[in-house]
Amino acid sequence: MKTYDLPQLTDAAAAAALDAACRQVRVNLPLYTHRCQNHSSVGGIYPACDNVQWTCGFWPGEVWLAYERTGDDAFRTAALTLVDSFAERIDKKIEVDHHDMGFLYSPSCVAAYKLTGSEKARAAAVKAADQLLSRFQEKGQFIQAWGAMGAPENYRYIIDCLLNLPLLYWAGETTGDAKYADIAHRHITTCLANSFRPDGSTYHTFFMNPDGTPSHGATCQGYRDDSFWARGQAWGVYGSILSYRYTKNPQYLDTFRKALDFYLTRLPEDLVPYWDMIFTTGDEEPRDSSSAAIVACGLLEAAKFLPEAEADACTTLARQMLASLAGHYAVTDQVPGAGLLAHGTYSKKSPYNTCTPEGVDECTSWGDYFYMEALTRLTKDWQLYW
């Protein structure tokens, strides 16, 4: 693994950065307890939104992390209010016709169940896992990401789905039903066969043919089809090690190493990638700080399973990435509605991609969440929400 001669975030600095994050979450509680936090900030401030987006689970995840850090019931009460909203969302099937059930229900309801024993949260998360199963396509063996099931323009899955699989592993454990892990296994087998290029880089989305054979990789949010969308690579790094955690399948560990090695070849000097890693040092393009936070979480998770020298290298690297984030990307102006981590990029339009431009060089709700998760991992033996 590539190594760097850069400062590491110490335990004391991690604790201080986490405490600062908790203070900002407290400032924001009145804004986002009865409504949700939008996917990305506008001019550094998050609009409130209804619980209708794929990103709405990250804010409750931050509130649960703040509760774990402080033990303050104000966070617990607010997060449980948000659980009510998530239970209603899945009961009434409000904007759940897509694959992002893990992003939505792991940091909100699985977290609530693990931390408080809430049966309402558990039931909502199991229903969300069932909803995710309903997206599985037998022909091609994949979980369809978006759109009407079977529609040719959407007969594809995306690399991001690796973070939705832990909801299935959890649902299998809590219900004792093997069907959840079975679908997770079938999906990741398809994903590993197609989405990772020989050099360890990844396609954002991958189309399958109606007969179930692989068709082609394509981007939505990356610069172009054959480039290296930073967050997709980060989902590949963290997602593969999460599946390894639950299955101990050595292929997933190999994938983690390959995806990480590629990611490290494309980093600028401060270890925070440009939004697409086709861009490198000196390019006038925005960064995606959220990718660095996601990869730091993956490194700290992997360190639990790797041989000692490799585990130490992963921990060192995570501390270096977090030192860069805490030192140069963390938001310091704690005003209502502000995020935690600046310089994230949700979707930047390029001449070749198909995304709607939003949240360019802004805070992103998942960037904030994974920044807090990574800091939490440095302060205690954290029990995952994933």
**What residues line the site for ligand GLY (CB under 6 A)?**
160, 221, 231, 346
The minimum distance between CB 354 and ligand GLY, in angstroms, equals 13
Tokens 């494309």 label which residue? 266
Tokens of 152: 């040719």
The minimum distance between CB 162 and ligand GLY, in angstroms, equals 10
The minimum distance between CB 100 and ligand GLY, in angstroms, equals 7
User: Whose Cβ is closer to ligand GLY: residue 118's or residue 365's?
Assistant: 365
The minimum distance between CB 104 and ligand GLY, in angstroms, equals 11
* Pairing mode, strands 48-49 and 136-137: unpaired
The minimum distance between CB 369 and ligand GLY, in angstroms, equals 12
Tokens of 105: 């229900």
Task: Kindly name the residue from 5, 91, 97, 100 that is annotated as catalytic.
Answer: 100
User: Whose Cβ is closer to ligand GLY: residue 122's or residue 231's?
Assistant: 231
The alpha carbon dihedral of 132, 135, 139, 145 has a sign of negative
The minimum distance between CB 248 and ligand GLY, in angstroms, equals 26
| Encoded amino acid at 347, one letter | S
| Encoded amino acid at 312, one letter | D
CA–CA separation, 377 vs 374, rounded Å?
Answer: 5
Tokens of 298: 């993956």
Are 102 and 55 within 8 A, CB to CB? no
User: Whose Cβ is closer to ligand GLY: residue 51's or residue 205's?
Assistant: 205
User: Whose Cβ is closer to ligand GLY: residue 168's or residue 253's?
Assistant: 168
Are 117 and 106 within 8 A, CB to CB? no
Which residue has the closest beta carbon to ligand GLY? Answer: 160
The minimum distance between CB 258 and ligand GLY, in angstroms, equals 20
User: Whose Cβ is closer to ligand GLY: residue 57's or residue 60's?
Assistant: 57
State how far the alpha carbon of 290 is from the alpha carbons of 136, 140, 152, in Å.
28, 31, 31
Give the other-Cβ count within 10 Å of 83's Cβ.
24
CA–CA separation, 133 vs 135, rounded Å?
Answer: 5
Task: Kindly name the residue from 72, 73, 160, 381 that is annotated as catalytic.
Answer: 160
**DSSP, res 53:** S
User: Whose Cβ is closer to ligand GLY: residue 200's or residue 239's?
Assistant: 239
Strand-pair partners of 364: 40
Q: Is 19 a catalytic residue?
A: no
Strands, DSSP E only, in the chain? 36-37, 48-49, 136-137, 142-143, 156-158, 205-208, 214-218, 344-347, 358-362
What 96-100 contacts at long range (C-beta under 8 Å, 24+ apart), as own/partner pairs, is 96/128, 96/131, 98/54, 98/135, 98/145, 98/146, 98/147, 99/132, 99/135, 99/143, 99/144, 99/145, 99/146, 99/157, 99/158, 99/161, 99/164, 100/54, 100/160, 100/164
User: Whose Cβ is closer to ligand GLY: residue 187's or residue 231's?
Assistant: 231
User: Whose Cβ is closer to ligand GLY: residue 62's or residue 160's?
Assistant: 160
Q: Is 368 a catalytic residue?
A: no
Tokens 């989405």 label which residue? 195
Q: Among all residues, which ones are annotated catalytic?
A: 100, 160
